[in-house]
Amino acid sequence: MDTDELLMRIRTGDSREAISEFLDSHPEMDLESLAVSAIQSGLDDISVAVLRALLDEKPIHLAAHDHLAGLLHRQKKFVESGPHYQFVVDNCPERANGYSGLCWAHFIAGKVEKLRETLLKAKQNIQDGYHINWQAGTNCGNLSQKSHTLLRLAVNEAVAAVRSSRRRPSEGQEVAAWLPHRSSNQNSNNVELKGISRGGRAKKGLFTVGNDTQLPATPAAAG
């Protein structure tokens, strides 16, 4: 089997068998070298198919999870990229880019609590001087109505919890939820991520993440 036939069969849905037959006819190659070749050629759809096959064979292959997460994210398959980004941050907790992708996966899926947990974990683990990249606000245009509805319900629930709180201010602030908000500027696609805290009537924007601001890597940097 030659490369052209491999590409054609992968793109017509016969990826696993085609990859297996191709490797049988090219014993000098394996799944890893085939994946590297596809990635270097810029063939994203082929790379995704080969990386999936590689993970079927080696489920804990860190580089495969890392590359597949990035490819799916670039194709705006944010939710699908989530488990792969999760594997990356579980095994490399200091890497900021893994948390960035995982934040988008949770945001698009409407998992506000998971989004909050990911941000807090990132703040604890990423290296000084590195930041979560949440500048890709234009991607919000790809949100489904279902995702918008889930996020709005989460916002209403968090605000209600804040308003009904009877805690004294001296007891400190406890973050109730991290919530994405569109910019008030109609000409901007910026997204701000704000923390709503219990123990006070006002919302506390502990972090604002948008086109111009990034999540501080350390408590000291947060001011």
Q: Is the pLDDT of residue 168 over 50?
A: no
Lowest mean pLDDT among 50-59, 112-121, 157-166: 157-166
Query: Is 138 or 7 the better-scoring residue by pLDDT?
Result: 7
pLDDT at 81: 96
Beta carbons of 175 and 197 less than 8 angstroms apart: yes
Q: How far apart are CA 84 and CA 70, in angstroms?
A: 9
- Dump pLDDT digits (tens) for 111-124: 878 888 888 888 88
Beta carbons of 122 and 130 less than 8 angstroms apart: no
Whether pTM > 0.85 for this model: the answer is no
- Dump pLDDT digits (tens) for 94-112: 988 899 899 889 888 878 7
Query: Which residue shows structure tokens 């990034």?
Result: 214
Q: What is the mean pLDDT of the chain?
A: 74
Task: Give the angle 113-128-88 at the CA atoms, nearest 5°.
Answer: 50
Angle between helix axes 44-57 and 62-74 (nearest 10 degrees) is 150
Query: Is 192 or 10 the better-scoring residue by pLDDT?
Result: 10
Query: Which residue shows structure tokens 């941000």?
Result: 119
Q: How far apart are CA 25 and CA 92, in angstroms?
A: 36
Beta carbons of 196 and 203 less than 8 angstroms apart: yes
Q: Which helix (H) or strand (E) holds 6?
A: helix 3-11
* Residue 203: partners with Cβ closer than 8 Å, 6 or more residues away: 159, 162, 194, 195, 196, 197
Beta carbons of 207 and 119 less than 8 angstroms apart: yes
Q: How far apart are CA 194 and CA 203, in angstroms?
A: 8
Length of the chain measured in residues: 223
| Tokens (6 digits) for 18 | 């085609």
Q: Which helix (H) or strand (E) holds 155?
A: helix 145-164
